[in-house]
Amino acid sequence: MGRHGWNPGARWWRLTALLGVAAVVLALVVTLVDTLPDGGSTAGTTRDGGRVHGTPATPPHQDEPSVGWGFTHTRYSADDGDDTAVARVEGLLSKAGDVPQNQHIMGWGADNPEPVKGHYDFGALDRRIDLVRASGGTPVITLCCAPDWMKGGRSGADRTDWSEAALETAPTPSHYADFAALAATVARRYPDVTHFIVWNEFKGFWNDAEARWDYEGYTKMYNLVHAALKKVDRNIMVGGPYLDMDSVDPRDTNASTAVRGPWGAVDQRVLDAFGYWNKHRAGADFAVVDGSTFTRDGELLPDAFGATAKLTAVGAWVRRQTGGLPLWWAEYYVEPTPPAAPAGGDGGRTGWTETRRVAVQAAALIAMVRGGASSGFYWNPEDEKGTTCPGCLWTPTSGADGGTALPMLGLVTRFGTEFPPGTRYRTVSVAPDDVPNVRVLATDRTVLVVNTLDRTISARIDGKRFDMGAYEVKWLAR
């Protein structure tokens, strides 16, 4: 029996061996195909990056240069996590209406989109766009950052350097055209994205030798990207330069004389960079800036609420320079982060109560509107796990009980609903004694009132007398 049984087994062994050899050969061929001459891998990439992904939506504002008030997705968001929690966030955003949602193409939740020239990996970005579509939002894409091979690094799906220094390196001049081509590929992949911001805060464009921004290099790249996007669709809206309107002590040697106030002075080198871009840009459908109300040294002058006047002053200056281009704030910050804040933690966002945070943020939004802004994006600092999340829009989606609304979500979405692009603002009466203590923004239908004091007040606004709790944000119907 043993002998008889051996022959069939031997034949099966020989067949298995042959199949094994074939598999090894096939694997070797695949490996060779998926490997660059220098060893970099193209595994997991595709050559058809410009193929339309999913089912494009038809978001509002697609033919308008302003999209309104929303937020930016960061490293963690609701595209990943427990299904129940993810669905909860989608429901919250859908209920709020067409909330503008901004996403970068690399970093902040997105993988390297083109790890090898002509080989694309849009998996993570696809998920983010899917989330925007599922939640009924208006998608905006920030064209930052650049694949390693465009900035002196190595090609390969397995070689992306995710260090902060590498991520924030700009493409070399010889690769500006390659970055523009990538931007066009992104635009073709997501035809329902009609608003693009070019780069982020001039990252990698600092000129060490001259101690100033390399605004010539950025503007050259911007113009190439602008042309590439308009070639895909002339109706695509493009904006820049997304400069950080950094402010310093008025006595600082780099303090400007043109934009200053009790809150400090904008760094003149930033204004110089903006001026060059504004003069030499090929075109722009909107202007983009970002900034903090506190100085570079972390000072809130004269205090947290008074410092928001900076946003009004900067906005008014930008609008004058551009001849009235729609103004976007890509980021805005009102709460200084301690220098020693732990990496990967809450960024030091535990110093303020949520009530105070919402009040100062509301005052900042009012200040931006008073400076002429029509769009702005709250930088949503989501955590990966946990049940709390200071300053976040919703709780982390890692568990089934996650994805619940937090106070900042209510402020951002309500502000966007009540004050959309094209809003006509009205002046309302404020009792003289209340003027120093409140911030007010009004339309024919709504009045937003912010108590800037850490105590209860009795205010008379728009002819109505009412009490407000410490740092309370109140919405009044007219």
Regarding beta strands 446-451 and 247-248, do their DSSP bridges make them parallel or antiparallel, or are they unpaired? Answer: unpaired
Backbone angles phi, psi at 385, to 5 degrees: -140, 170
Q: 215 CB contacts (<8 Å, ≥6 apart)?
A: 202, 205, 241, 272, 273, 276, 277
Residue 303 CA to residue 306 CA, distance in Å, equals 5
Mean pLDDT of 46-54: 97
Q: How far is CA 193 from CA 96, 184, 186, 196, in A?
A: 20, 12, 9, 8
Which of 67-81, 193-207, 347-361, 414-428 has the lowest average pLDDT? 347-361
For residue range 143-185, list pLDDT tens digits in order: 999 999 999 999 999 999 999 999 999 999 999 999 999 999 9
**pLDDT over 70 at 67, yes or no:** yes
**pLDDT over 60 at 21, yes or no:** no
Tell me what pLDDT residue 344 has: 43
Q: Are 279 and 322 in contact (CB under 8 A)?
A: no
Residue 30 CA to residue 20 CA, distance in Å, equals 15
Maximum C-alpha span of the chain: 108
Tell me what pLDDT residue 248 has: 96
User: 3-class DSSP state for residue 239?
Assistant: strand
Mean pLDDT of 76-93: 98
For residue range 445-470, list pLDDT tens digits in order: 999 999 999 999 999 999 999 999 99
For residue range 237-253, list pLDDT tens digits in order: 999 999 999 999 999 99
For residue range 303-317, list pLDDT tens digits in order: 999 999 999 999 999
- 85-99 b/e (C-beta count within 10 Å ≥ 16 → b): bbebbbebbeebebb
**pLDDT over 50 at 1, yes or no:** no
For residue range 341-365, list pLDDT tens digits in order: 444 444 556 689 999 999 999 999 9
Residue in the structure block whose two tokens are 């002819």: 463
Tell me what pLDDT residue 16 has: 37
Tell me what pLDDT residue 57 has: 87
Q: 375 CB contacts (<8 Å, ≥6 apart)?
A: 66, 67, 68, 69, 70, 100, 286, 326, 327, 328, 329, 421
Residue 78 CA to residue 425 CA, distance in Å, equals 34
Q: Where does the pLDDT of residue 103 fall: very low under 50, low under 70, confident under 90, or very high at 90 and above?
A: very high
Tell me what pLDDT residue 49 has: 97
Percentage of the chain exceeding pLDDT 90: 87
Q: Where does the pLDDT of residue 35 fall: very low under 50, low under 70, confident under 90, or very high at 90 and above?
A: low
Q: Where does the pLDDT of residue 133 fall: very low under 50, low under 70, confident under 90, or very high at 90 and above?
A: very high
Tell me what pLDDT residue 58 has: 85
Tell me what pLDDT residue 37 has: 59
Residue 209 CA to residue 242 CA, distance in Å, equals 23
Which of 56-70, 127-141, 432-446, 461-475 has the lowest average pLDDT? 56-70
Mean pLDDT (the chain) is 91
For residue range 251-304, list pLDDT tens digits in order: 999 999 999 999 999 999 999 999 999 999 999 999 999 999 999 999 999 999
Q: Which residue has the higher pLDDT, 32 or 333?
A: 333
